[in-house]
Amino acid sequence: MEAREIGRLFEKVRANRPLVHHITNYVTVNDCANITLCAGAAPVMSHSRRETGEMVAMAGALVLNIGTLDTRQVEQMLAAGRKANTQGVPVVLDPVGAGATRFRTKTSLRLLRELEVAVLKGNGGEIASLAGAGGKVRGVDSDGVGGKPEQITREYASRLGTVVAMTGPADFLSDGRRTLRVDNGHPLMGRFSGSGCMAASVTGAFAAVSKDRVAATAAALAAFGVAGEKAAVRNTTPYGVRMAIFDELFNLSPAELAERARVRKV
């Protein structure tokens, strides 16, 4: 993927300011809203079925995050996802904790089965668990992957017919044909809660402005990773990086992103 394409997509997010509709968890909802704003998009955090149809119809993307899952939320996500599918609105699914409990795993698989998901973004344990590739999840954190990340991602994307992104020390994403590796980021990004949720929100912002979901996802993960790298320059603690990453993404220019993005084919 060419660096100028990554920068161009970021410019498009900033120019279009797409609305990103979230049905997400209550632990990181504020972080997701603010990182969406800092990316250049507009967040809305709407959980009520009484307005879901109207909200999805005006959105550029829908982000579903099962971090604090309950049965009512499942139905809300299905209703919103079905509406998004009829409107041509891309759905980003973050299967937080899939593989840790039967409820989370079954819910993730149901959403994938009943909705047309544009991007499935999860950590290594979550994606490998859903793919049946020996993933281990402890709480909501990845605890191991039973195979090569790029191979699991590519094969699962091919089976699903959607873009799959496995985040970790290096991020891998694929649609089954093209597989990319993103090497941006910093270890401290994995030491505070919400970094994965925020990555899904940024992915929603980029997916809203491009039908090339592979390119959009790679550019989103690179942008978030570069912001994390810059945040870690002056901060040596997880909370310091968490607080700084918003401003770093806000101040990141498309030209700097194009220069610093480390994205390559695998």
% residues pLDDT > 90 (the chain): 86
pLDDT of residue 79: 95
Residue 144 has pLDDT above 70, yes or no: no
Q: Write the CATH number of the domain with boundaries 3-261.
A: 3.40.1190.20
Supply the pLDDT for residue 143.
44
pLDDT at 172 exceeding the cut of 70: yes
Q: What is the pLDDT of residues 101-114, one digit of tens each?
A: 999 999 999 999 99
Q: What confidence tier does 140 reach under pLDDT thresholds 50, 70, 90?
A: very low
Cβ(82)–Cβ(51) below 8 Å = no
pLDDT band at 133 (very low <50, low <70, confident <90, very high): confident
pLDDT of residue 141: 47
Q: What is the pLDDT of residues 4-26, one digit of tens each?
A: 999 999 999 999 999 999 999 99
The pLDDT value recorded for residue 3 is 87
Q: What is the pTM of this model?
A: 0.94
**Cα distance between residue 144 and residue 123, in whole Å:** 10
Per-residue pLDDT tens over the stretch 190-238: 999 999 999 999 999 999 999 999 999 999 999 999 999 999 999 999 9
CA distance 229 to 218: 16
Residue boundaries of the structural domains of the chain: 3-261
Please give the radius of gyration of the chain, using alpha carbons only, rounded to the nearest integer. Answer: 16
Token representation of residue 51: 């307005």
Least confident of 87-91, 128-132, 155-159: 128-132
Identify the residue with better confidence: 43 or 4. 43
